[in-house]
Chains A and B, each alone.
Chain A
Amino acid sequence: MTMIFGVPMAVFMGQLTLGLVNGAFYALLSLGLAVIFGLLKIVNFAHGAQYMLGAFAALLGFRYLGINYWLALVLVPLVIGGLGMLVERFLLRRIAHLDHLYGLLLTFGLALIFEGTLVNLFGVSGARYATPEILQGGLNLGFMFLPTYRAWVLVAALTMCLFTWFMIERTRLGAYLRAGTENSQLMQAFGVNVPLMITLTYGFGVGLAAFAGVLAAPLYPVSPTMGSSLLIVVFAVVVIGGMGSILGAILTGLGMGIIEGLTKVYYPEAANTVIFLVMILVLMLRPAGLFGKEA
């Protein structure tokens, strides 16, 4: 059997795929954070909880309403995104004029409420969500076995990332968004409905988190705490990459996933911590982040 640095090829490639899949989630979530941060200037601490709500909505929708995976992939981001818009409209907007740290604290409170409520309703142990039939099984590529669902997650997440990039960088709406990020008061003076745009942006960011949640549902146990620990890693990813650039967020997310996957192969004890260590390294060498402007 082929070996790579003393590890069987199949194991190596398997961990690499796992890392890439995790990285795709980091990319999707840090992208959502970056989009929200760009316009609202707050860090959405509820992002992990909203990701978790996405997974739960898929699970419960299937259990009680018979909504299948594909429908959930479309509906859940819309519903959770809509919920996010309500949060923005009725809570975040009221503190928009204050120090942005208050936004962080408010969304942190929301995260506690969401997580705590679901822990009480469903317990902390995770529930399983069945992989859709068409995506079960896997492909034997000769040098490795590639589970179909993981391949699909990778494709779907990256497509969504690129779609977001296209929307923001290449459409008129995206141009408004970028202009609003630079100077929202001037935008409003030009007659753009900035408050509406802020609501939609927050909804979109939350929708991205929920989309990631639905993608994650068949992969990881669906539990109320699935979002919070992931979010802290995503924060580290955001610090590493900086929130200035969309492509930067995607690349950093994938890169950190790969690094984490490879650490699992060569030094499993550090797999949980390697991203934080990379963050420390980046803070020492390039404090503004790999793709960041000095903030």
Chain B
Amino acid sequence: MTDSHVLKAPSVVAKRQRRANLRRNAFYLALIALGLVAPFIAYPVFLMKILCFALFACAFNLLLGYAGLLSFGHAAFLATGGYTTGYLLASYPGLTPELGIIAGTLVATLLGVLFGVLSIRRQGIYFAMVTLALAQLMFFVFIQSPFTGGEDGLHGVPRGELFGFISLRSNMAMYYFVFTIFLFGYALIQRTVHSPFGQVLKAIRENEPRAISLGYNVDAYKLVAFVISAALAGLAGSTKTVVFQLASLTDAHWHMSGEVILMTLLGGVGTLLGPIMGAGLVVSLQHILSQSPLGNWVSVMLGLIFVVCVLSFRSGIVGELGAIYRKNFK
């Protein structure tokens, strides 16, 4: 990006850089402000659903967009986080929600280490198939385990009191808690992507043999990316369980792994904001369709969007907008 500035005087470069930073910060502040006032405009539970899925999609995008690894099994981490948190909060009434969420995230992280070690042994489409198969294994584990409630799932998970004294029973309080978690997850991803670690990930995505020949331990980088992604997916699942007070097999089904791919693809693979927009659109679409006579056609619609995206819209909405912006305003 900075290549074209190399020949210019350093002060000009610094000024441009400062201005770009300023613009970015202003943009983020505007988004945060929007997030803060949003629950006064729209139904908070709906917004929380979007935020949970946005975090899930951002986590997935870290792997696909920046490491070039297509996981078809991210539902497993979402569900593991959700079930763990749900089970703990329902069985130990004294447990505060933030501890439940941390526990769920940790278990999902452990699962991420396990799956990561296995799946990065294969590349490309094999990686996709391995992750899908591992997630299906977890699906059967969840069906058969006694603590998940089998086909019924877990219901009536208490929201409890944050840190032991802030009641989350009101949707407003819950919303700001979820919003904070989302900001934390997003910031972590943003930092990861822009760190030297993230640059190496991109190098691996672009040309793996070359990254190897430059002396990078490619497998270690992939594994760390996989684990971060799994952990944040687990965080999203845990938070979702607290919000909706339930955990069910829907979260573990391969449809869910497909949905998160679609959210990322639709919004823009490899863009930071794309997955958020994709999650917002897909969740809204599901919401609108479920209340219309077309309610049963949701999965057909998602399939159609998939096909259209792949055929003619591969950089996603944010990606396309970015291209238009660069073409006309720079």
Contacts and interface: CB of A to CB of B under 8 A. Distances in A.
Contacts of A60: none
A261 to B, nearest CB: 17
Contacts of A95: 310-311
B297 A106 contact: no
A143 B169 CA distance: 65
B125 A287 contact: no
B287 to A, nearest CB: 18
Contacts of A110: 303, 307
A177 interface: no
A117 B125 contact: no
B110 interface: no
A112 B121 CA distance: 29
B60 to A, nearest CB: 13
Contacts of B137: 273, 276-277, 280
Contact of A91 (B136, B307, B314): B307
Interface stretch (A15-23, A160-168, A233-241, A245-253): A233-241
A133 interface: no
Given A98-B314, A105-B261, A295-B123, A113 B130 contact: no
Interface in B229-277: 254, 258, 261, 265
A259 to B, nearest CB: 15
B299 A238 contact: no
A101 B303 contact: no
A108 B121 contact: no
Given A269-B144, A276-B133, A295 B122 contact: yes
A272 B143 CA distance: 11
B34 interface: no
B41 interface: no
Contact of B314 (A43, A102, A232): A102
Contact of A273 (B140, B265, B306): B140
Contact of B310 (A109, A235, A276, A284): A109
B126 interface: yes
B118 A272 contact: no
B128 interface: yes
A235 B133 contact: yes
Interface in A204-239: 228-229, 232-233, 235-236, 238-239
Nearest to A280: B118
Given A106-B306, A269-B144, A116 B300 contact: yes
Interface string A79-109: 0000000000001001100101110111011
A295 B265 contact: no
A258 interface: no
B313 to A, nearest CB: 11
B31 to A, nearest CB: 28
A2 interface: no
B102 interface: no
A98 B119 CA distance: 23
Interface in B268-300: 296-300
B302 interface: yes
A280 B73 CA distance: 15
Contacts of B136: 229, 232-233, 236, 276
Interface of A: 37, 42-43, 91, 94-95, 98, 100-102, 104-106, 108-117, 119-120, 228-229, 232-233, 235-236, 238-239, 269, 272-273, 276-277, 279-280, 283-284, 287, 295
Interface of B: 70, 118-119, 121-126, 128-130, 132-134, 136-137, 140-141, 144, 254, 258, 261, 265, 296-300, 302-307, 309-311, 314
27 contacts: A43-B125, A95-B310, A95-B311, A100-B125, A101-B70, A101-B128, A109-B302, A109-B305, A110-B303, A110-B307, A113-B307, A114-B303, A116-B297, A116-B298, A120-B300, A228-B254, A236-B129, A236-B133, A238-B129, A239-B129, A239-B130, A276-B133, A276-B136, A279-B133, A280-B118, A280-B137, A295-B124
Given A235-B133, A283-B130, 13 more contacts: A95-B310, A98-B314, A100-B124, A101-B125, A104-B125, A105-B261, A109-B304, A109-B307, A109-B309, A111-B303, A115-B299, A273-B140, A273-B141
